Chain A
Amino acid sequence: MRSENELIELLNRDLNLLSVKKLRKQNISIRLENEELVSGLNYLKSHSYIHLATISCVDWIEDNQFELIYHLFSYEDKISLSVKTKINRQKSRFVTIKNLWGVAKYYERDIHDFFGIKFTGNDNMDELILENWNEIPPMRKDFKTRQYVDKKYDWRQYHGQE
């Protein structure tokens, strides 16, 4: 049963963290390099962080990067830990963690649906949520929602409108 501070020094000692931040009570976020991410997750999984809540993604379009966030939780420490990493937006490719957590298959498919990030090793990349979608992935910042909606759906014509 580790407290937040014990956890932070443990992580500092074992993983070479780029940064660590204590966001709230029992909520810590750390940042790792792309290459060390999988080994870091493996290490955390063996240290009671066995629950992978979800994988989320943020589109930093200005500095041309996608940020992948892996949300873990430990039932003993009662601390939710989020591991972040940034990958290049143009290449938009990352390695799968299917063998660490089976459920990651679907999180990765979901992120592929909405951000277009391909995960090598996870072969089943067809549509999970969207249905016959042929535009650019919708959650990307450069996706113009208004234009898409105007093109696809037509608005109700109230009397007096053109």
Chain B
Amino acid sequence: MSLFYYTFIPIIIAFIAYFLNKKIKLSLAILNSVVFAYLFYQISRLYGQWDIPYESITYYIFDREVQLIFQLTPLSWLFIFMTTGAGLLIAIFTIKSQQEYTLRSAFHLNFAILVGSILGVVLAGDFLSLFIFWEIMTWSSFFLISSGEKKAAQKASFRYIILSTVGAYLMVTAIFIIYNQIHTLRYSQVAAHLSGLPITESIILIIMLAIPFIIKAGVFPFHVWVNGAHSNAPKEFSPFLSGLMLKVGIYGVILLLYFVPLYNILKDSIHYRGLPIFNYILAIFGGVTVITGTVLAIRQEDVKRLVAFSSISQMGYIIMALAISTPLGFTGGLLHLMNHMIFKTTIFLSIAAVIYRTKTTKMREMGGLIFKMPVTFAAYLIAIIALAGIPPTNGFISKWVIYQALIEKGYIFLSVAAFFGSIGSFMYVFKPLSTIFLGQLKPEHENIKEVPFLMQLPMFVLMALILLFGILPGLQMNLINQISQLLNITPVGFTLYSITGAFGTWNSLVIFSLFVGGFLLAFIIFISVKKSKPVGLMDTYTSGEYLDDPEAYHYAYQYFRPFDRVFDSFAARSLTAAYDTFAQNIVKLGNVFRKSIVTGNGQTYAFYMILFIVILAFAGWII
């Protein structure tokens, strides 16, 4: 089955189903999940066949021959595997959770197009097809974000689409410049061409190509849209948005850093401690993203906004690891990419389950849901243990590899930022756990039941994945090593359950068994002593007085107020304000022009036309 089918099947079927839906009432979500399951099966069968020839469509515009190329590389296989997997899980989740949602069929249509376009982006072999599917992806995600229930969704999606279009224009100009220089856009030719160009030109081209990818990955200066988009997108879409969409930006960065071997293009540009300056700046951006993401995540009261900021800070980790372009860094970055996709989707799915039941995203309006929704609590608990990077889970392994890479090169600021991010993640990870699941149950949440099984199924699968990859990282490693062979980076040694870092090997099987041993010993001591009497949650010591409303016993609002006070001044000058003022200035500038040109009477129009023709003639005469 040729590679084209992968991208076009979901899009075409989605369109047909959308129009059929008016007549025959079939649940689009089920259709989506069936299609994704089929694709997932096909792709998993595709593993290992890296040698299948690339397919191309060639057609001619103004007698110029343009080729759209599709090729399968281990890197693109990783991404299409992850995309269809996440798409499948989320489609299953939405079967039940979309019941009372008005724009239901539009959601499924856009979702299918989005998945198809991401497959297209990742399978593309040349920049033009990459750009085409990139635009489809941006548009479909724009429609999805703006279809969120809250009014703020429009404003957030507006900011998202502006930043993306700015990135898209940069990419288009870069593609045109490259195209009319070498008349082909295949990655390999473009790479060879770029290394031939003089330094300043290639740097400009690379930056123009890099900016749209960095915007989509939500790195520091452009992380402005991520927060609004995540928290206002419909609750089923934000897992996909933060689990997958941010990764596609990272795919672009990998494309630039390793496919187009940026390393040897910049080998004679100025180096800072053995790293080209472009990479080092990217790494610094990654580090700053980690710190800002963590600090802002701790402050949030809205749980979706909090998890969105945590995605930003985790993205910072990946960017940092990839930018230092050492074998360990590359492996750590890819590992963290996969692990982040798994545990972030789990977190967002469990949050969506909670919102599905309690209809609110404000943390202080929830509490004590552990007894009502145990499965969601278990999924959330295992996911945050992974996010915080605590040993028996996969989160720790990828962070461990990243630390080895950072320490190996001795980058102080980056490792301080990395540690700040991971220790800070304990705080913002624990805040929703204690405000939503633990603490006192609100009276109005008395009759909440667990989410239906279809919504629990994805959580079970993802929980299993977190623990599986936590104990046996080898499964991920052989794929990553094939990718690094492709990009001629020395692969990192590994066995099924251990990875060798710069300073030592990490053996997760032994750690897990010792962990179980310690846990067992504590359990035995606990059991052997006198049984304790269960007592209600309201029977707590509050200096002698008994109050009756659980609200008074639930500590949830401004959980880390002392810590936020330290960063109050910093958070006030947030970047979004800077962007808004920048936007206002442009509008003022526009008004100035408008008043002078569009004056309403005919003479000025005529005068400008003549002026224009004169300039044109004059310019034509010179060139």
A and B touch in the complex (CB under 8 A): no
Residue positions of A touching B, CB distance < 8 A: none
